[in-house]
Structures are given as C-alpha cells and as structure tokens.
Chains A and B, each alone.
Chain A
Amino acid sequence: MALTVIAQQPVMQEHPEAYPKADIQYGARLYGEHCDRCHGANGAGVSGVNLASGKFRSATTDGQLKMVITNGFPTAGMPPFRFDTADLTGLVAWLRNMNSIDRGSMKAGDPARGRAIFEGTAACGSCHRVNGKGSRKGPDLSDIGTLRSAGYFERILVDPNGQLLPINRPVHVVTREGKAVDGRRLNEDTYTVQMVDGEGHLQSFVKANLREFRISTKSAMTSYRGELQPDELADLVAYMLTLKGVL
C-alpha cells in the first residue's frame, strides 16, 4: 500500500515587486476609505494585529487575504466586505507593500480627468461601449472596473497585444461569395466561429463556407505608450476603476 504524505504547504510570501503600482495606489485609496478607521494609517490600529509587518495571523497567500477581507471576523468585530476583483487586487497589493511605501507619497489618478480623456483624446468610445454609449466593436466596459484590476488597465493601455485575452482576438473572414468581414471573436469551435462585426452585429460563420479565415494575435487596439503622459494614463486607470456596472 502506498502512502501519500502531504507536506505542510510552504509559506507563500509573495514578492512586493510583483504588485503593479496602479494596484498599490488603488489599494491605498481603498484602505484609507474602508480600513484605516480601525486598522490605523500604519496598520497597527487593532491590538495584536500589525498589517504592515507583512505577516497575517489568518492568511499567508493573497487568496487567503482576499477571503479574510471578504468574510471578515464578525466575532472580533470586523464585518465582511463586499469588494469586487479590482478592489481586492488593489487592497492586497497595498497590504503587501504598506511597510515600504508611504501612502502620502502616492499620487492617485483623477477619475474625472480620466473620463474626459476616455471620451476625448483617447476616443475609447470609438471601439468600446460604456453604459449604452459607444461602439460594440471592442468589449463593453460598463462593469470592467469590477472584473479586472488597476494593474491590468495600466498594462493593457501600453501593451494591448501582450494583454489581449485570447477570446477577444480579431477575426478576418472572406466568405465563399467574396465578402470580407472583420470582427472580434466571441466564440469558436471546430466548424464555426462567432464574432461581433464592425457595426456591432453578431455574426456566425461555418468555416467550411469560408474562403479565408484568420485569427490575429495582434490586438485591434494600439498602444497608448507615448501617446498619453503617465499622469494621463493614471487618470484613465482611475476612471476605469469607477466603471462598476449598473448595480
């Protein structure tokens, strides 16, 4: 009989440098809004708990930290918090870095300015839709601020190819009749492909009926590196974090 011995999981101390600056900034802001009333600006406001020490009594991994924040410690007086993915990612990034970064030194982006950039010079609405306005060519961003993270926004704005989710890859087809259609992939199987076309319409094609069928790994979005200043990018990220959907 073989015995399987499960070793004690090693402590998963994640490396501070792994956390994007935008997440740390956003988390610092949320910490100020929701946490420091009890935990204090330095993380030592609750007796026996020192958040800035980098060690947590009930959590070692980031996932466990998120669970602690979500469930709270009702018996110890900490309520559960309803944070979304972006919020939790930011809070954890801040908690992992609060011993080495001074919250006061962090310059957060301005969502109002970000919105002006989104709707103005960056012309994001020419491809993306927010709350019923804009194009459906790119993904609808109405609730993107709950689904991704500040760090993700920061990365995709300057490196869209590197961050493009594979499902969203551009599709180019030419039908047997010679009609070319370009769009964003929504679904695909062995025999068919579904996409949203340039007009925002849903299209489905049987591959056997296509003369050409190409999936590109290159995002239809170009990089904003150099096109927007760092503080403008921070503003844009701050705005996208406010896109929490209808509910």
Chain B
Amino acid sequence: MTLRRYLGMALLAAGSLAAQNTVTPQRLLEASKEPGNWLTYSGDYSSHRYSGLAKITPANVKGLGLAWVYQSPVAGSWEATPLVVDGVMYITQRPNDVVALDAATGRVFWSYRYNNLEDPRVCCGANNRGLGVLGDTLFMGTLDASLVALDRHNGHLLWKTRVAEAKAGYSITVAPLVVKDKVIVGVGGGEWGIRGFIAAYSAATGKELWRFYTVPGPGEPGHETWLPCPTDSKEYCDPEAWKHGGASVWVTGSYDPATNLTYWGTGNAGPDYNPVQRPGDNLYTASVVALDTDTGKLRWHYQFTPGDRYDYDAVQVPVLADIQFQGKPVKAMLWANRNGNYYVLDRVTGKFLLGKPFIKVNWMSGFDTNGRPIQTPQPVGQPTYPGLLGGTNWYSPSYSPRTGLMYFPIWEDQAIVFSRIPVAYREGNGFGGGGFQPFVPSVGDPKKGIPTAAGVPNLRRGPINDWTDAAGHGAMLAVDPATGEPKWKFSMTDVTDVGAATTASDLLFTGGREGYMQVLHARTGELLWKRNLGAQMLNSPITFEAGGKQYVAVMAGLGLFVFGLPE
C-alpha cells in the first residue's frame, strides 16, 4: 500500500510564474543571450561585464529610482558580485553567508551560513566576491579555504571539499568560475607565504580534477626563474623561496570556448616587498596564465611584473575581445594592470602585442621587443608610481562591443615609498618583507613628501577624505582597446574601487569611494545620473531583469542598492 501524503497537493500543476530552468553548461556558454540574468561573476565567459539590456537609456536614466535595498547584517567592506538566475538573486555576505532574494523586491527566500571551522588568515578582511552556479547548485569558496556546494532552491549544503589549509594562510575569496562540469577556483594568501594554485573540482561531487601550481616546483618549466641564492650574498636569501612564493589567485578568470583555455591573473610574489631573498623573475607571479580547461596544463603565460617588489598583483579580470589590431583581426586579451600599464595580448598564443602606461609610472621606462618591462627601481626613500594599491586593481573592467571601447577605473598620482626587510618564512605568519610609506608631494618640492600627511588611500575609510586628492585621485577611463589611447576620462576627487558595467543602450554604471553611484554615457563619459549612497562602494555593478523590468544593482557600505525606472 502506498500512503497518500500531501493532501492539498493541488500544488501539482500550479506552474511557476518565472520559469526557473536548470543552468546548463550551454546556458553559461551563451550567457550573453539571456541578458536578463547574470550567470557568472563577470556576466559572461569573455568577462565583458556588458549587458544586452537597453530599457534604461541615456534618455530616461534621469528617472532612475530606488527599487529596494538589502542590508548586510555583518559590518565590513562588501566586494561581492551578485548572480541573478530567472528572477532569483544570489549574494554572498560576510563572512561566508549565502542569501537568495527575490530580484524584484529584495525579499529573502533563504539564507545559509557557513561556519569557518579554522581561524582564517586573510590580509584584508572577511571578503568574498561571489558565487558560481551550475544546474541547481551554487558554489562558494570559503575563508578557511574550502569549497562548498549548495542547493540553490533551498540553501542546503550538498558537499564540502577542503581545498587548502587555512592555518598555512590559504583562503578563498574569489567567485568560482564554472566551465562544463568543473568548478574552478584559486587560493588567496599572498601576504602569508602560500604557494598559489588554481584547481578544478567536479561540480557533482567536489572531487579535485586538476591543480595547477602558480609557482612551479623543481623540474617544472618556469622553476628556473626562482634563481639559486648567490654564494656571496650579503643579504638574507631563501634557498627554498618558491615553496612560499605567493602568486595567489583572488579574482575570477575567463574562458574561451574556441581555445578551451581558461585565463587567470596571479598575485604578488612572496614576500611582497623583498625581491633580494627570492632572486629571479619568480614565475608565475604577477602574470596571466592560460590553462587547458580539461587538464589544467599550462598553454602559455605572460608576466606583467617580473620579480615584483611593489605588490603589483595581476589579479585583474582578463577581458577577451576580438578586435582589429594594426589592421588585422586579433583574438585579443585586454588587460589594464595594477602596475599602471594597459596591455593587449594574443589570447591564443600569449604573444605580447601592446603595453602602454595609462597613468604616471616610474618603476619602468618602457618595454623590450619581447614585451618585457625595462625596470627602473627608484632610489631608497624616493616614491614609486603607481603606489602599492596600483594604477587599477581587482575592480572589474568592462568592454562594450557596441562602442568598441574598454573601460576601467584608475588611480592617478598615487605613490608609495617602498622599503624592504628580510623575513624568514614561518607557517601562518605574515610574510610581507618590508613596508610602505604614503607619499604626498610637498608643494614647494614635489620630490619631498609631507611627512605628516594623512595616510595613503588604503582599502577603506570613513566619510571624510582626509588624504585628499593630493595623495591620489580616481577616474573612470575609456580607451581604444587596440592602442590604449584614452577616449574619455571621468575624474573623481577621491580614488575608486568600483568597476564598470556597460549596456546595449550605451550606459556605463560605476561609483567610487565617495559613495556616489554614477551613470555615465559610455560613448562620451558624460555624467547622466548620480546618487549619494552614503558609504564607500566597493563592488562592481550588474544589471538584470525581473518581472520584465531592468534593474541595476550596486553595493555601498552594508547596503545592496537596486535601482529601476518608475512604473
């Protein structure tokens, strides 16, 4: 006998109002064909952060109004990019919560709290940048370096895989990239002496399928760039520097189905500021690596900052675009780097095509024919441009196939006086190897700093810009992707940690430290709309549809703000 259960299961053929279909690998591949959703960290595999939506336009954007706000219950900077799948928004909030909300009203369906079992060691707060989705499952990396899979319809934990040891300084803050049946993540910990890696896990089971160490071991290609210590070294040199060589991975990579390559940027070498104890170029730190998505094998690499001593993480989002370069079509990778240069690479071969400063730089004077920067380290006590936090950073760029322009936030005239101190590796201890002093030029003698000037623009601050634009200022920059020539620049008084999202109606959404959300014209940079959200913005905007309406979502302070046009 079968017992009849649910009495009132007139639930039967109720049908759902918003069709909620499973997220197939094909949907992810063709994410740009469903602009109402936001299915990956950067919107699609080519990481354009460009949306085909066009209901909000330059003509009607003045009517943009607040639709809803969701407030995070946990204080601290909020760097996450939401996903939107068929009317449901999925966000992460500190430390490793996942929340599912109705994308039209902001009301919560469910929330999940991951309890970090180990005491996480993270440089810069309990950050998490978002989720990956496949089928009916969400994926999140955790501060204690695990990867978890959740049922996206009810928030229940399906599996958990330990990726690395938190006590050794590993963490995961990056939003996973899901390709085919794999969930790809990298590890953070560049300030803790980790040996970085990128790894792929089975979406179904959490089993590790491949792992690529971003610092090659003995016998592997690239290991020779970790030179032996000179026998007559007068300074401390670490003969096993590669073992804690850094090259963390904390911003989501891209994927090109045509080459089956997945591209990821890597972080600074460890220790950050003392290259003397790790002689050589230190591959694959401060680089982009192109990996075979099925095997994790390295196809090519390009190192932006060899032997980095400035913490110039190459953790930018690789933008994949097919452009005309010097009269020929090129499958390009566009890259505005923390080191202050804009790059064009051939994404099939890794060939260096263009490198061009987009701000004042003095750590290098140009490139040799192979695309290697000619480095010009500054004398002790003198400022280096750009400073520690770079000419740009992890903030998402955008590429609009409509305007044909590449957009990214920049920090101008921001400098640091770097110093180095030998540091022996100890598991779980900080591994900086030096320090940095903010440099604010004195008006009478710009080569001298004002010693008592307020600190360099750091990761976050309160409502008063007490370092002022004298210590650095921000802008949104639009460049010709083939030449790096600026097309327009929208300047701000304070610096900005906010990326860009562009639309098929030629809007560009962005913001900044000052707390303004700003809508610019993507062709001219003209300010079309702004609103003071009252706290620093730190994530990159997205746009999506719910109930047939277009919305734009940003985070500022503890608020997730969603704007739309009036009914």
Residues of A within 8 A of B (CB): 121-124, 126-127, 129, 131-132, 136-137, 139-140, 142-143, 170, 172, 175, 179-183, 186-187, 189, 191-192, 194, 196-206, 216, 218, 220-222, 224, 227, 245-247
Contact = CB atoms under 8 A, between A and B. Distances in A.
A159 to B, nearest CB: 15
Contacts of A245: 157
A69 B15 CA distance: 49
Nearest to B7: A222
Interface string B90-115: 00000000001010110111100000
Given A142-B156, A196-B153, A197-B11, 4 more contacts: A127-B5, A127-B6, A181-B14, A245-B157
A218 B7 CA distance: 10
Contact of B105 (A136, A142, A192): A192
A201 B6 contact: no
B536 to A, nearest CB: 29
Contact of A199 (B3, B10, B16, B160): B16
B151 interface: yes
Nearest to A199: B16
Q: Which of the listed residues B2, B16, B110, B151 has the most CB atoms from chain A within 10 Å of its own CB?
A: B16
Contact of A186 (B9, B110, B156): B110
Interface in B128-185: 151, 153-154, 156-160
B14 A198 contact: yes
B156 A129 contact: yes
A194 B11 contact: no
Given A204-B109, A206-B105, A182 B156 contact: no
A140 B154 CA distance: 7
A142 B104 CA distance: 30
B429 to A, nearest CB: 29
A235 B488 CA distance: 72
Q: Which of the listed residues B109, B156, B158 has the most CB atoms from chain A within 10 Å of its own CB?
A: B156
A222 B110 CA distance: 25
B537 interface: no
Contact of A182 (B1, B14, B100): B14
Contact of B7 (A181, A200, A220): A220
Contacts of B14: 179-183, 197-199
B12 A198 contact: yes
Given A201-B16, A203-B17, A247 B88 contact: no
A187 B109 contact: yes
A132 B7 contact: no
B464 interface: no
Nearest to B155: A140
A122 B88 CA distance: 33
Tell me the dominant secondary structure on chain A's binding face: loop
Nearest to A224: B3
Interface in B421-461: none
A247 B206 CA distance: 14
A182 B11 CA distance: 5
Nearest to B206: A246
Nearest to A175: B17
A204 B156 CA distance: 20
A220 B104 contact: no
A126 B87 CA distance: 26
Contact of B16 (A124, A192, A197): A197
B4 interface: yes
Contacts of A246: 157-160
Contact of A220 (B1, B9, B153): B9
Q: Which of the listed residues B6, B9, B88, B154 has the most CB atoms from chain A within 10 Å of its own CB?
A: B6
B2 A181 contact: no
B392 to A, nearest CB: 37
Given A197-B16, A246-B158, A126 B6 contact: yes
A203 B109 CA distance: 8
A247 B87 CA distance: 30
Q: Which of the listed residues A202, A206, A224 has the most CB atoms from chain B within 10 Å of its own CB?
A: A202
A175 B16 CA distance: 11
A200 B20 CA distance: 10
A220 B154 contact: no
B332 to A, nearest CB: 40
A172 B151 CA distance: 24
A196 B110 CA distance: 10
Nearest to A128: B5
B110 A121 contact: no
Contacts of B100: 202
Interface in B1-46: 1-18, 20
Contact of A181 (B3, B15, B87): B15
Give 9 nearest A-B pairs by CB, closest first. Answer: A198-B11, A204-B102, A201-B20, A182-B11, A201-B16, A181-B14, A140-B156, A246-B157, A202-B109
